[in-house]
Amino acid sequence: MSRRCEICGKGQVRGNTILRRGQAKKKGGIGQHVTAVTPRLFKPNLQNVRAVIAGEHRRIKACANCIKTGLVTKAG
């Protein structure tokens, strides 16, 4: 099964982790320098939920944001 919300379609997003060394200029240093850029994945907060869809109970994967905003009507 894919890591994608079945309600809004939110999925994985690629990004970077940036490692920096040095003290910031506003804290009295000579400035920060980037030492490494590592690729990473930002994953959505998916939950398995029993929901009512088209009048029947189904198990779906929904992100926590959709559950909180009330887009998912829980079964039972």
- Please, which pLDDT band fits residue 2 given cuts at 50, 70 and 90? confident
Phi then psi for 12, rounded to 5 degrees?
A: -70, 145
The residues facing 47 across adjacent strands are: 62
Pairing mode of beta strands 56-63, 46-53: antiparallel
Q: Where along the chain do its domains lie?
A: 13-69
Read off the pTM. 0.73
d(CA 33, CA 67): 41
- So what's the pLDDT on residue 1? 59
pLDDT over 70 (residue 3): yes
